[in-house]
Amino acid sequence: MFIGLVVVHEFGHFIMARRGGVEVEEFGIGFPPRVWAKRVKSPKGDYDFSINALPLGGFVKLKGENDADTAKGSFGAASLSTKVKIMVAGVVMNLVTAFALLTLVALAGMPKLIENQFTVTSDTKVVKQQVLVAHVESGSPAEKAGLQVRDQLLGVDGQRIQTAEDFPTATQQLAGKNVAITYQRDGQERSTSAQLRSQAEVEASKQTDQPKGYLGVGPSEYIINRSTWSAPIVAGGLIKQFTVQTFKGLGSALASVFRGEGGKASEQVAGPVGIFVILKDGSLLGYQFVLLIIAIISLTLAIMNVLPIPALDGGRLFVTLVFRAVRRPLAKKTEDLIHGGGFAFLMLLFVVITVVDVRRFF
């Protein structure tokens, strides 16, 4: 699905280039080395369709991609407006994909990921509300009782658990006692017992760097809201809300880098390994969660490609417009140096984030 989002992005460039009279030399899925290719005949120009070995996305190779190229049918020879349309087309495709997926998820059931998540109150119905185990302390009563992450907590000693706030209230009232815990795992209701920590143990732990709970569980609410007529409105509102959150995350990561706090910066990002883990674990919560994450990734691809980062669409557009503004020709050597350096930096960042993800998750 991740590769599909990149292919959709590149398809936007492909369509707009052909509409603008720019010849497409190759449409590739994955990155070289090439595994398979076929020459596609078309009234608007023949091109190679290829499958490549590195499953990291896809690409569209245009004739004469440098701004200084002047050959007929090349990207360089196209008008400025055509170039802008070609470079922006990928972003538009990812935004349209995000909007379509979010609308679909709102109709099927929208998982709540953040506080005050946008919705239309008059057309919102809670279709699922669960209290899940988000974290189990090592050596805690919960671990000894066999509780695992993603177990659904149902009750403690006969007290029904309906919200995340109900859980610490119940365990505090029963501090120091041996209690029965009911939970659901893999669709089956189960029960176990645990000796809760005493009030004195919990209070003493608060004086340390690692305060402990009575059971040693971090509960989290998983809520799914369903909309009908307002689904497209919810999709639009979430695109705005998640865009703001993304820029806040980027700002926080950059601020941490400048302060020399690399650990905090790495918490704000994830690469393909992180995406795989999130989707794998999230699939246990249902297809709605998976589709929501895919929609957010599509939106993130759009946002990142708007930014003036060399080698990405926004960077290419920014460099082109700057040289137009100062009325200086953009030489092939200069353009290759700018975007080649940007690409090298992105590859280095890709490797660093992959290492961080592997250490974080494995």
Q: Can you give the residue ranges of every domain in the chain?
A: 1-78, 94-123+227-362, 125-225
Long-range contacts (CB closer than 8 Å, 24 or more residues apart) made by 70-79: 73/21, 73/22, 73/23, 73/45, 74/22, 74/23, 75/17, 75/22, 78/20, 78/21, 78/22
- 17-37, pLDDT tens digit by residue? 999 999 999 999 998 999 999
Per-residue pLDDT, 110: 97
Q: 41-50, 233-242, 265-274, 311-320: which has the highest mean pLDDT?
A: 233-242
Greatest distance between any 2 Cα atoms in the chain: 82
Cβ atoms of 106 and 95 closer than 8 Å: no
Can you tell me the distance from the alpha carbon of 33 to that of 99, in angstroms, rounded to the nearest whole number?
Answer: 34
Q: Is residue 223 over pLDDT 90? A: yes
At the topology level of CATH, where does 125-225 sit? Pdz3 Domain (2.30.42)
Answer whether residue 153 shows pLDDT above 90: yes
pLDDT tier at 263 (50, 70, 90 boundaries)? confident
pLDDT at 56 (0 to 100):
75
313: pLDDT confidence band, cut at 50, 70 and 90? very high
Give pLDDT, residue 268. 78
Q: Please report which residue ranges of the chain form alpha helices under DSSP H.
A: 2-19, 80-108, 141-145, 166-173, 199-205, 231-258, 262-266, 272-282, 287-306, 313-325, 332-361
Q: What percent of the chain has pLDDT over 70?
A: 100
Q: Determine the Cα–Cα distance for residues 33 and 29; give it in Å rounded to an integer.
A: 11
Q: What is the mean pLDDT of residues 192-201?
A: 92
* Mean pLDDT within 108-132: 94
**φ, ψ at 114 (rounded to 5°):** -130, 160
User: Residue 162: pLDDT above 80?
Assistant: yes
In degrees, to the nearest 5, what angle opens at C-alpha 46 toward C-alphas 35 and 55? 25
